[in-house]
Amino acid sequence: MTFEYAPAPESRAIVDIKPSYGLFINGEFVDGTGTSFKTVNPATEEVLAEVAEASDADVDEAVKAARRAYTRVWSRMSGAERAKYLYRIARIIQERGRELAVLESIDNGKPIKESRDVDVPIVAAHFFYYAGWADKLQYSGYGSTPLGVAGQVIPWNFPLLMLAWKIAPALACGNTVVLKPAETTPLTALLFAEICQQADLPPGVVNIVTGAGDTGRAIVSHPDVDKVAFTGSTEVGKAIARAVAGSDKKVTLELGGKAANIVFDDAPLDQAVEGIVNGIFFNQGHVCCAGSRLLVQESVADEVMSRLKRRMATLRVGDPLDKNTDVGAINSAEQLAKIRELSEIGESEGAERWSAPCDLPANGYWFAPTVFTGVSQAHRIAREEIFGPVLSVLTFRTPSEAIEKANNTPFGLSAGVWTDKGSRILSMANRLRAGVVWANTFNKFDPTSPFGGYKESGYGREGGRHGLEGYLKGADA
C-alpha cells in the first residue's frame, strides 16, 4: 500500500502584498513618471500587484540620489559604521525570513522548501559576511577605495539572493546602488526596500527601480554610473559590454552556462543521482550553473538512467507553497514557451525524450521534469541553455573524452565530477574550464565562496574575498 502525502501548505497570511508599488528612491517610495506593469504568481496566473515601470527620468533621479548619498554620507562614513548597517539588514532579513520566503515563492514560483531553506538563509549570511569586510578592506588585497555609484540589474531566478550578491559587497566597499529587479519578480526587492527603511539606512544608499529591459538599459548607460553589475542572459551581457565600451565603467557579468555533470563508473551512484537531480531540477532548472548536461561513463549509463528515472518519478511537482513540493512553477509564460520550443527541437533532432509522470496543475506555468537521452554534441539541446527542468544526457568512455566534451562549449560557469578516486577528481577539476567545480556534490553556494565564469559565462566574481574586487578601485588606487 502507498501512503499519499497530505497537503502541507505554508500560510500566505504572513505576507501583505499591496495592490500597487512605486519606486524606492532616496529612502522613500515614490510614484514613477512611467507606465506600470503587473506581476503575477506563475503557479496560478493570479495578478499580484501593479508595479511602476521606471522611466529614464526616474532612473536619473535614482542615480542622483545614489550620487548624493555617496558623496555626502556613505563614502565619508567609517567602515565600522557601514558594517553596522549591514549587520542590521542581515538581522532584519533573519527576523522577517519566513515572510521573505513566502513572498519569494509566490512571486517566483519556486518551492517554499527552497526559498525557506536555501535562498533566505544564504541571503542573510551574505549580508553578515560582507558586513564584516566593511572595516577590513585594507586586508582584502584590492585596496579600500570605492568606485561610487553601482548600477545593478538582476534576474528572476533567485530574486532576493541575486539582490544580496549585488548589494552586500557594494555597500560594504562604500558604494551606493541603483538596483533593478527582474520584471517578473520585483516583490522581494521592494520588501527589501522596506527592510532598508527599518534599518534606518541613510536615504539614497540603496535605490530600487522596477521595470523591464528599457529601465535596465537606462541604468547601464547612465553616464554617472561608475560600475555595472549584471546577472542574466549572455545575449544581454554582450549588449552591456558593448554599451560600456570606451567608458570608465567597471563591469561584472554573471551570464549563462551549460554545465557538464560528469559521472564516472566508480561514483557512488545513489549520491550521484541525487546530485544530478539537484543539479538540474533545483529551482526548476532556472539556474545559470545548472548541471544541464549529464556526461555519464558508458559502462554505467544504463544503470544511472534507470536509477535517475526512478528518482525523477518521485519528484513532487506542484504548489510552490506546499512544504513537500520539490519542483515548482516555471517563472513565466515566455520562459515556458522557450523550454517547450527547445524540448521540441531536441525531439526533432532525434534525441529520446522522457518526462516524469506527474499531474500538472490546470492553471499556471508548468513543465514536467524531463530527460533526453541519445544526445550528441551537435544537438542544440546540448549546446544552448534551456533554463528549465530539462536534462541532456551524453556518454563518454575516457576521462579525456569527458573533458573534451565538457569544455566544448562557449560557456564556462560550472561543472560537476562524480568519482571515488581522489587523484581523478583533482585531475578533472584542473582540466575543466569552469569557474566553479563541484566534486561529489553540486549546486552548493556560500557567501565565502567566489562564483563566476570563464569565457562567455562572463567575468568577475561574486562572493568571497574575490567578490570585493568588482567594487573597489584596486590596491594601488
Partner 1 sequence: MSRIDVRKTYKLYIGGQFPRSESGRSYVVNDAKGRLVANAAQASRKDARDAVVAARAAFGGWSGKTAYNRAQVVYRVAEVLEGRREQFEAELRASEGITPARARTYVDASIDRLVWYAGWADKITQVVGNANPVAGPYFNLSTPEPSGVIAVVAPRGPLLGLVSVVAPLIITGNTVVVIASQDNPLTAITLGEVMATSDLPGGVVNVLTGSQTEIAPWLASHMDVNGIDLTGVEDDELATELEVAAADNLKRVRRPAPDTDWLAEPALDRMTQFLETKTVWHPIGV
Joined grid coordinates for residue 68: 548624493
| Binding-site string for partner 1 from residue 76 to residue 115, where x marks contact by CB under 8 A and - marks none | ----------------------------------------
Under the binding rule (CB under 8 A), the answer on residue 425 touching partner 1 is yes
**Max Cα–Cα distance, the chain, nearest Å:** 70
Under the binding rule (CB under 8 A), the answer on residue 232 touching partner 1 is no
Cα–Cα distances (Å) from 5 to 71, 111, 145, in that order, read 57, 16, 55
- Which of 155, 202, 458, 470 contacts partner 1 by CB under 8 A? 458
Stretch touching partner 1 by CB under 8 A, among 15-23, 34-42, 187-195, 244-252: 244-252
- Which of 17, 73, 241, 333 contacts partner 1 by CB under 8 A? 241
Residues 422-446 as b or e (16 or more Cβ within 10 Å = b)? eeebeebeebbbbbbbbbeebbebe
Among this protein's residues, is 254 annotated catalytic? yes
Give the nearest distance from C-beta 323 to partner 1 in angstroms: 22
Cα gap 173→131, rounded to integer Å: 9
DSSP string over 83-144:
HHHHHHHHHHHHHTHHHHHHHHHHHH---HHHIIIIIHHHHHHHHHHHHHHTT-GGGSSS-S
Joined grid coordinates for residue 86: 549591514
Joined grid coordinates for residue 71: 558623496
Which segments within 243-328 are labelled E, that is strand?
A: 250-254, 260-263, 293-297
Under the binding rule (CB under 8 A), the answer on residue 7 touching partner 1 is no
Give the nearest distance from C-beta 251 to partner 1 in angstroms: 9
- Which of 47, 313, 337, 475 contacts partner 1 by CB under 8 A? 475
Give the nearest distance from C-beta 31 to partner 1 in angstroms: 36
Under the binding rule (CB under 8 A), the answer on residue 138 touching partner 1 is no
Cα–Cα distances (Å) from 188 to 93, 100, 115, 178, 213, in that order, read 11, 7, 11, 15, 19
Cα gap 357→84, rounded to integer Å: 50
Under the binding rule (CB under 8 A), the answer on residue 132 touching partner 1 is no
Asked if residues 267 and 418 have their Cβ atoms less than 8 Å apart, the reply is yes
Under the binding rule (CB under 8 A), the answer on residue 226 touching partner 1 is no
List phi, psi (to 5°) of 451.
-130, 135
Under the binding rule (CB under 8 A), the answer on residue 291 touching partner 1 is no
Q: Could you identify the residue written with the cell 552556462?
A: 257
Stretch touching partner 1 by CB under 8 A, among 81-89, 157-165, 390-398, 469-477: 469-477
- Identify which of residues 309 and 455 has a Cβ nearer to partner 1 in the complex: 455
- Which of 253, 300, 339, 371 contacts partner 1 by CB under 8 A? 253
- Which of 156, 158, 451, 471 contacts partner 1 by CB under 8 A? 451
- Which of 75, 145, 427, 440 contacts partner 1 by CB under 8 A? 440
Stretch touching partner 1 by CB under 8 A, among 99-107, 156-164, 246-254, 376-384: 246-254
- Identify which of residues 316 and 473 has a Cβ nearer to partner 1 in the complex: 473
For residue 383, give the H/E element and its range: helix 380-383
Cα gap 220→448, rounded to integer Å: 27
Cα gap 151→15, rounded to integer Å: 29
Give the nearest distance from C-beta 393 to partner 1 in angstroms: 23
| Binding-site string for partner 1 from residue 335 to residue 374, where x marks contact by CB under 8 A and - marks none | ----------------------------------------
Give the nearest distance from C-beta 429 to partner 1 in angstroms: 5
Under the binding rule (CB under 8 A), the answer on residue 464 touching partner 1 is yes
Give the nearest distance from C-beta 363 to partner 1 in angstroms: 38
Give the nearest distance from C-beta 166 to partner 1 in angstroms: 18
| Binding-site string for partner 1 from residue 183 to residue 222, where x marks contact by CB under 8 A and - marks none | ----------------------------------------
Cα gap 91→334, rounded to integer Å: 36
- The residue among 148, 147, 146, 151 whose CA lies nearest residue 59 is 151
Give the nearest distance from C-beta 410 to partner 1 in angstroms: 7
Residues 308-327 that bind partner 1 (CB under 8 A): none
Half-sphere exposure of 139 (CA within 13 A, CB side): 6
Give the nearest distance from C-beta 244 to partner 1 in angstroms: 8
Among 104, 254, 456, 462, the active-site one is 254
- Which of 67, 461, 471, 472 contacts partner 1 by CB under 8 A? 461
Strand partners, 251: 228
DSSP single-letter state for residue 457: G
Burial class of 94 by CB neighbour count within 10 A (0 to 12, 13 to 18, 19+): middle
> Catalytic residue numbers?
254
Chain residues that interact with partner 1, rule: CB under 8 A:
125, 141, 234, 237-239, 241-242, 245-246, 248, 253, 255, 410, 412, 425, 429, 434-441, 444, 446, 448-452, 454-456, 458-459, 461, 464-466, 474-476
